[in-house]
Amino acid sequence: MRHNKKINHLGRTHSHREAMLSNMAVSLIKHKRIFTTLAKAKALRKYVEPLITKSKEDTTHSRRIVFRNLRDKYTVTELFKEVSQKIGDRPGGYTRIIKTGNRLGDNASMCFIELVDYNELMLKDKKAPEKAKTRRSRKKSDTATAKTDAPKAPVSKKKAVTEAPVEETATVETPDVQIEESVVEETPVVETPEVQIEESVVEETPVVETPEVQIEESVAEETAQEIPAEEVPQETASESESVEPESAE
């Protein structure tokens, strides 16, 4: 039983635990995010955050203390040059733990541990609502001042009394005008079919007369062909003789 014991030994000896946390701190500073169990991440947070605070003072003494824990000169230079400049204004809370679920083999709770200032997506989400608040506050203040500064125009009681009956008469006359216009529009619609019927009758009459004219022309041509050519001058001569004695008398 481990009552009143704040240190989680993680099932390891002291030397093994210190070496493991040192390697995990080096990986976190290099890659800015690592994937591990929740128990190891909580132990790593207590181990690496004091070292990041030490890197704010770039002195020989602070570099020796950090190197004694990390045992990697390339990681120490990156911590004092790049990481310390980004977290210089932050008073603490340099890491963030995000739970991802349980592991399939032993059902251990897994998580991400990352440096807060290197997650650009979460930094953008925090900056967006600040701009919206400042714009809304300006609009409200401008409208409030405009309403207070605008002078109120005096309203006379006599004008209100005279204008009221004029508005009533105008509203009563509007429906009569609409009814008269609708009647005028309906009358030409009734006359249109009669005109179309008369035009159709006129167009049909010449169609009936055309076959009779063609028949009369065909009969005249047939009679002209049946009469011989020799008989025609005899008739003309007899007609001339009958006309001469009448003229002598």
pLDDT tens string 174-210: 545 454 454 445 545 545 455 454 454 445 545 545 4
Q: Is pLDDT at 40 greater than 90 in this prediction?
A: yes
Bridge partner list, 110: 37, 101
Grouping H, G, I as helix, E, B as strand and the rest as coil, residue 97 is strand
pLDDT interval class at 123 (50, 70, 90): confident
d(CA 212, CA 183): 49
Query: What pLDDT is stored for residue 226 in this prediction?
Result: 54
Token pair for 173: 């006359």
pLDDT tens, residue by residue, 62-117:
999 999 999 999 999 999 999 999 988 899 999 999 999 999 999 999 999 999 99
% of the chain at pLDDT higher than 90: 44
Mean pLDDT calculated for residue range 7-26: 96
- Render the burial of 176-213: b for 16+ CB within 10 Å, e for the rest: eeeeeeeeeeeeeeeeeeeeeeeeeeeeeeeeeeeeee
Asked if 8 contacts 76 with a C-beta cutoff of 8 angstroms, the reply is: no
pTM (two decimals): 0.50
Length of the chain: 249
Higher pLDDT, 9 or 216: 9
The DSSP bridge pattern shows strands 95-102 and 109-115 to be antiparallel
Bridge partner list, 33: 114
Query: What pLDDT is stored for residue 156 in this prediction?
Result: 52
Token pair for 229: 């050519």
Asked if 29 contacts 51 with a C-beta cutoff of 8 angstroms, the reply is: no
pLDDT tens, residue by residue, 141-165:
566 666 666 556 555 554 444 454 4
Q: Is pLDDT at 244 greater than 70 in this prediction?
A: no
